[in-house]
Structure 1
Amino acid sequence: MQPNNWLSDLKVIIFDMDGTLYQDHTFMERYIRYLLADTEAEAHMESAVALGTDILSGSHPVQCGHFYHVDEDVVLVRETGRFIQALNWEGNVVPIASGLADAGADESVMMKQLVPFGDPWGVAAVIGRRYKLPERKRQEAFERVRREMVQEPYRFAYSSSLFEALAALTAVDKKIVMTNTYLESGLEFLHYMQIYPLFDEVYCGAEKPDGIAKYMTELLAQGYKPEQILSVGDNPWNDLEPVRQLGGRTCLISPYASAESSKWDIRLTELDELEHLLRLTQQAITRKVSDDGHNRAYQYQQEV
C-alpha cells in the first residue's frame, strides 16, 4: 500500500525499540546458550541454537508470526484472528484441541499461555519456555545478554542516519518509544544510541500488547483520531495488532519472513527504509501545512 495518501495526517508515532530502532540478531545464539547452560536441557543446546536460526531464516515450518502454547507444547498458526492449525516441533500438523480452535487469539485467558514468535527475542523466549526453565534462570540469561549488547566485544551497531531522520521529524505532535524491556536496560539502550532526548515520551516495561492498547485508548481520549496514530514495530502481536484493532495505522519492520496473516499499512525490512519513511512523513506534513496556509499544530490545539 502506498502510504503517501495518509502520511500527512499523522500526529503521533509510537516506536518499538528492540528490532525496530536497531536490528541485530547476533545476540540470539548467546541468549539461547545462556538459557540452557548448567541445566538438564544443556544437552539440547546445539539443536536449540540450530532451531532458532532456522526459524529466523524462514527455513523451518515454524515461523515468526506463529504462537507457542506453553502447556500444550505445540505451535499455533493464526489466521484472520483465530487459530486454525497446530504444529509439533518437527513442523508436522497435529490435532488442535477444540478449546484452542474455538478461542480467538485475543482472549486474555488464552494469551497467558501463549508466547509469540515475533522476533529473535521471542524465539529465544519460546525456547526457554519449551524446556521449562525456571523464571529466575530465564531472567538472568535475558539480563546478561542485554548487558553484553552495549559492551565490547558485543556492542550492537545502529544507524546514525536513521536517528538524524528521527530528530528531523518535528512536524508530528508526539514521538513515543515503548519497550517491554525493564527500565534499567531500556534506558541504557536509548542512551547508548544517544536517542533518549528525541522522544516526547519514553515507556519501559510497557507490557505490550496490553500496554500499547491502553496507551492508544488514552490518545483517543485526548482527541486524536485513530488514523492520526502510527505504530512502528517488529513484533506484530505486541506492537501492531492492538493499534490496528483500534483503527490506527501500522508499520511492520522486520528482515524476517512472517507467517502473520494480518495486512499492515506498511511492510518494511531494513532501517534505511524506515529512515525514508520518516523523511517522507516530515515532508508530507510540512507540505500540507504549507498548502493549508496555517500552522497545523495550532489548529489541533484549537480543535481540542
Structure 2
Amino acid sequence: MEPEHWLSDLRVVIFDMDGTLYQDHTFMERYIRYLLEKTAAEPHTEEAVSLGMAILAGSHPVQCGHFYHAADDAVLVREAGRFVRALSWDGTELALRDDMAALTADEAALPEQLVPFGDPWGIAAVLGLRYKLPEEKRLEAFRRVREEMVREPYLFPTSRGLFEALAALTAIEKKVVMTNTYLESGLAFLHHMEIHHLFDEVYCGAEKPEGIARYITVLLAQGYKPEEILSVGDNGWNDLEPVRRLGGRTCLISPYASAESSRWDLRFTKLDELERLLRRIQQATTRRAAEYGQDRADQHLQEI
C-alpha cells in the first residue's frame, strides 16, 4: 500500500527497539545454547539451534507470528483472528481440538497457555519454555546474551543512515521508543546506538502488548486521533496488534518470514526501507504544515 495519503496526518511515531532500530539474529544461536547448557535438555542443543534457524529462514512450516500452546507442546496458526491449524515442531499437521479452536487471540491478554513468538528473541524464549527450563535459567541466559551484545566481539551492527533520518524527523510531535527489555539493558542498547537523545519519550520494561495499548489509550485521551499514530516494530503481536485494533497505523519491519504480514499497513524487510519512510514522513508533514501555515513540531511539547 502506498501511504502518501496518510503520512502527512502522522503526529506520533512509536518505535520498537530490538529488531526494529537495528537488525541482528546472530545472538539467537548463543541464546539457545546458553538456555540449554548444563541442563537435562543440553543433548537437544543442535536440534534446537537448527529449528530456530529454519524458522528464521522461512524454510519451516512453523513461522514467526504463530503461537506456542505450552500445555500440548504444539504450535497454533491464526488466520483472521481465529486459530485454524495446529502443528508439531517438525511441521506435522495435528488435530485442532475444539478447545484450541475456541481460544481467542484478539484480546490484549492471551490465555496463559498461549505464547506468541514473532522474532528471534521470541523463538529462543519459546524453546526455553518447551524444554521446561526454570525461570531463573531463562533469565540468566537472556541477561548474558544481552550484556554480550554491547561488548566486543558481539557488538550488533547499526545503521547510521537510519539514525540520521530519525534525527531529521522533526515535523512530528512525538518520537517514542518502547521496549520490553529491562531498563539497564534497554538504556545500554540505546546509548550504544547513540540515539537515546533523539526520542521525546523512552519506555523500557514497557510490558507490550498491554503496555502499548495503555499508551495509545492515553494518547487518544489527550486528543490524538488513531490515524495520527504509527507503530513500527518487528513483532506483530507485541508492537502492532494493539495499535491496529485501536485504529492506528502499523508497519512491520522484519527480514524473516511472518505468518501475518498482510495485517499491517506497511511491510518492510530492511532498515534502509525504514530510513526512506522516515524521510517521507518528514517531507509529508512539513509540506502539510506549510500548507496550513503552522509548525507542528512546536505543538504539544513536553519534557521527559
**TM-score (structure 2 length as normaliser):** 0.96
Q: Using the alignment, how far apart are the partners of 1:203 and 1:74 within structure 2? A: 33
Q: Using the alignment, how far apart are the partners of 2:235 and 2:299 within structure 1? A: 34
1:117 is displaced (CA, Å) by: 2.1
1:296 is displaced (CA, Å) by: 3.5
Name 2:61's counterpart in structure 1. 61
1:256 is displaced (CA, Å) by: 0.5
Name 2:44's counterpart in structure 1. 44
Given that 2:11 and 2:172 are in contact with CA atoms closer than 8 Å, whether structure 1 keeps it comes out as yes
Change (3 A) 1:285 1:110: closer
Q: Using the alignment, how far apart are the partners of 1:159 and 1:297 within structure 2? A: 25
Change (3 A) 1:273 1:237: same
Q: Using the alignment, how far apart are the partners of 1:86 and 1:133 within structure 2? A: 23
1:257-279, Cα deviation, whole Å (9 max, x unpaired): 11116521111100000000000
Q: Which range moved further: 228-237 or 82-91? A: 82-91
Cα RMSD after superposing both structures: 1.4
Q: Using the alignment, how far apart are the partners of 2:70 and 2:104 within structure 1? A: 17
Number of residue pairs matched? 301
Q: Using the alignment, how far apart are the partners of 2:46 and 2:295 within structure 1? A: 59
Given that 1:117 and 1:126 are in contact with CA atoms closer than 8 Å, whether structure 2 keeps it comes out as yes
Given that 1:32 and 1:49 are in contact with CA atoms closer than 8 Å, whether structure 2 keeps it comes out as yes
Q: Which runs of 5+ in 2 are unaligned?
A: none
Name 2:288's counterpart in structure 1. 288
Q: Using the alignment, how far apart are the partners of 1:237 and 1:121 within structure 2? A: 13
Name 2:166's counterpart in structure 1. 166
What percentage of aligned pairs have identical amino acids?
71
1:26-72, Cα deviation, whole Å (9 max, x unpaired): 00000000000000000000010000000000101101111111112
Given that 1:78 and 1:261 are in contact with CA atoms closer than 8 Å, whether structure 2 keeps it comes out as no
Q: Using the alignment, how far apart are the partners of 2:272 and 2:298 within structure 1? A: 32
SS at match of 1:206: coil
1:172-194, Cα deviation, whole Å (9 max, x unpaired): 10000000000100000001100
Q: How does 1:38-117 map to 2 (within 5 A)?
A: 38-107=38-107, 110-117=110-117
Given that 1:240 and 1:252 are in contact with CA atoms closer than 8 Å, whether structure 2 keeps it comes out as yes
Q: Using the alignment, how far apart are the partners of 2:111 and 2:253 within structure 1? A: 23
1:169 is displaced (CA, Å) by: 0.2
Change (3 A) 1:289 1:108: closer
Q: How does 1:1-304 map to 2 (within 5 A)?
A: 1-107=1-107, 110-260=110-260, 262-296=262-296
SS at match of 2:86: strand
SS at match of 2:273: helix
Given that 1:65 and 1:118 are in contact with CA atoms closer than 8 Å, whether structure 2 keeps it comes out as yes
SS at match of 2:22: coil
1:127-164, Cα deviation, whole Å (9 max, x unpaired): 10100000000000000000000000000010011101
Q: Using the alignment, how far apart are the partners of 1:7 and 1:106 within structure 2? A: 27
SS at match of 2:65: coil
SS at match of 1:111: coil
Change (3 A) 1:229 1:53: same
**TM-score (structure 1 length as normaliser):** 0.96
Q: Using the alignment, how far apart are the partners of 1:199 and 1:298 within structure 2? A: 15
Given that 2:56 and 2:256 are in contact with CA atoms closer than 8 Å, whether structure 1 keeps it comes out as yes
